[in-house]
Amino acid sequence: MKVRPCLPVALMLIGCSATAHAQSMADRAQAAAAASRARTSDSNSLLQNVVTPGLSGQPISTIDGKTSFTAALACEKSAKWLELLVQPSATGDLGTVTISRDTNFDGSFDTALTLPMPVSGICANGIISCTPGTWDACEDFQWAVDGAGALKLTQVDMPNLTSCYCINNSCGHDLAWSNMPSVLGDLGGGVVGALTTADPRYGAAQASINGPVIDYVGAQSTSCASSPAVGQTAYASNPTAIQADAASQASSNSIFQMLKGSPAGTGKVAQTRSCTIQREVTVTSPTYDEIVTATGSFESVTICGAGCRIYRIGGTGNCDYPPPTFTGRFTVAKPDRLVSARLTDIQTADFLQARVNGTIVASAGEGPWMTDALPSDCGTGDDHSAAPNTDLSALLRQGAVTIDARIHAHGSHKSGYLDVRIEVDTGCEATEDLADLCSGYEGQSQCQLLSEDVDGVTTVTGGVHTGLTPLPQTRQFGSASCALSLTRPFFERDRQYRCVIDSGTTAAPDLSRGAYIIDHSTETLLADQTRSANGTVTTTTAVFSSPSEPAVPACEAICKTRAPAASTAAAPVGVTGSQQNDPTGWNVYYHTCSGGVGSTDTICPAGPGEEVVSACGCLDEFPEAAVMMQSVRLAGSDLTCNAGSVQ
């Protein structure tokens, strides 16, 4: 029995059917594409048609609008979850900012926060407050949430803020009023980001702006539990744990094991997995009390300079009684920070004996007192002193040290003391930690390093080493009051691994027939090769024609416009406009034109205040974009900032 070649027949039937209905199929495809673009072409459409109804319990419609359903994506919803009201002042700053919030989703506001300072600049995650109308005496604040879930502002250094810009009169006139929608959106976005980061159950379903007010519809999604520590976010702080958890779940899951043993599961499957190795550096400046702990019978503690203290140990004694002992105990928490520790001075009437950890090290008096026995000539009442300058540094670095002052005196001169001088280093120090998220892949035999980027230098690509070796990098860490420059072989490695998730013994599929068809067919002739049960190979050819393709434009017609804009972006050195010859720049926009390329009714939908730079057509802006990105990359690689200078 011969095996009839079914593929050519099927392809010819498809070709005939497509030819007969080419126009109707094209019309249907264009209609479906237009309907899809109308509902999902941009972020506003997605919010309006999918995200907002999904989170707020409203019906979601299919692309053709014929079917709708209600998705239960949220446990609780509130149309008044968050409201932000601003009032610009005569100086251009936001003089009043009030944030009202519905914390229990009962439909009414139960908390309100009014900012106690004017808002001179807005950032994606905080605000900047300066002297009203100026960019002087500025303080930087980041949005945060306290332990009780209440919104607050935390003062930070400006590098912790992102995408900052100025809105008061130092940068322009009426910037807040003229840009109210974007001001409200940026300010509200920072608030919502802080709330949703602190409690991942919360989600903002919709935002609406009415004058100086922005309202957010909120929903409690992700989890219906009462605690914000939901299981869905557990891997955010420990991403490597997902590997072991997934393996544990898979080993006990009957469905997974069934699929694993199936013919489809015994094949060889590889996945590409990305990870990073980052050097995390923390710069701190420990205080004296964090380095040295001192307790005991101190007559006084005197500060003798930065990181220096003198401890006076002493009291009164009596020749007629056993000599009392006055003790001080010293512990050094950071031995590497100890500069020196010395027994510097002894003052007494008659006799004083200094002991360190029970061992006599020095004395002062009528004569030497270096034994446990009492001196016989006590009672003269004369003052005596000594400067032993005994070094105690090595003992303190090894552990706790006890220093005793033993006094044997008489008459009105019964007192005595010894001084211990301790100096420490309270300068800046850096603590380093390598956050290695690649360890789970590096030790697996089924994972192969596919690519690696070390501080911007590609060392491995396609599984092959490039031969490039990055030079040691020098970076500055800390703040203006405590800054350190560290040079290390690398600070960040970005890697990709190709991991074989399973390997079986299923034979590779026979692709010879498909290869023959591709190699021997043309646009008008279809070649085929079949193999019968007895191994006989039969080759055939058949005339083949594909349906004519509809004419399409060479590209989607776009136009380029620009509108003047003040340079109000803010950085640690100040507002960027104040650093430029002309504080006014341009915002560039790209619009999709109505009609098509070559159409007589093509119109560029320029917005208010925009002027057309490039008319509708097939614009190619890639060279300009590549130059700008390369300039930024090279500037970041070549500039080194040291103490306010640029080299």
Chain-centroid distance of CA 625 in Å reads: 26
pLDDT of residue 5: 40
**How far is it, in rounded angstroms, from Cα 279 to Cα 487?**
12
Q: What are phi and psi of 309, to 5 degrees?
A: -145, 150
Which tokens go with 172? 């322009």
Q: What is the pLDDT of residue 2?
A: 40
Lookup result for tokens 């074989």: 500
| Cα distance between residue 112 and residue 215, in whole Å | 14
Kind and range of the H or E run holding 542: strand 537-543
Give the residue carrying structure tokens 């709330």: 195
376: which residues sit within 8 A by CB, 6+ positions away?
A: none
Find, among 135, 136, 132, the residue nearest to 95 by Cα: 132
Structure tokens at 166: 């100025």
Nearest alpha carbon to residue 446 among 271, 582, 581: 271
pLDDT at 261: 64
Which residues sit opposite 642 in a β-bridge?
645
Q: Give the contacts of 44 (CB within 8 A, at least 6 positions apart).
A: none
Q: What's the gap between Cα 265 and its chain centre?
A: 38
AA letter at 550: P
Residue 117 has a pLDDT of 92
Which amino acid is it at 194?
A: A
Which amino acid is present at 59?
P
| Percentage of the chain exceeding pLDDT 90 | 25
Give, for 178, the enclosing helix (H) or strand (E): helix 175-178
Q: Which of helix, strand or coil describes residue 446?
A: coil
| pLDDT score at 126 | 93
- pTM beyond 0.75: the answer is no
Query: Phi and psi (nearest 5°) for 12?
Result: -70, -40
Rounded distance between C-alpha atoms, residue 82 and residue 213, angstroms: 10
d(CA 117, CA 101): 20
Q: What is the DSSP letter of 227?
A: S
Amino acid at 139: E
Length of the chain, in residues? 647
Q: Are 355 and 372 in contact (CB under 8 A)?
A: no
Among the listed residues 378, 372, 433, the one whose alpha carbon sits nearest the alpha carbon of residue 404: 372
Closest alpha carbon to 232 in 204, 194, 200, 203: 200
For 274, phi then psi, to 5°, come to -105, 145
Give the residue ranges of the chain where pLDDT is below 50. 1-22, 642-647
Confirm if 312 and 417 have CB atoms less than 8 A apart. yes
Round to whole Å and give the CA distance between 254 and 244: 18
Q: At what angle do helices 6-20 and 22-40 cross, to 10 degrees?
A: 80
| H or E element that contains 152 | strand 151-155
Residue with tokens 């400046």: 285
Phi, psi of 28 (to 5 degrees): -65, -40
pLDDT at site 131: 93
Name the one residue in this structure whose structure tokens are 């159950």: 201
Residues 6+ positions from 624 with CB-CB distance below 8 Å: none
Complete DSSP assignment for 320-353: TSPPPEEEEEEEES-GGGEEEEEEEEEEEESEEE
CA distance 534 to 531: 8
Instruction: Specify the pLDDT at position 598.
Output: 60
Give the pair of three-digit tokens for residue 471.
């030079």
Contacts of 369 (CB under 8 A, 6+ apart): 351, 352, 353, 363, 375, 408
Q: What are the structure tokens assigned to 543, written together?
A: 């005339």
∠ CA 224-226-232, nearest 5°, is: 55
Pairwise CA distance, residues 207 & 185, whole Å:
8
pLDDT of residue 441: 86
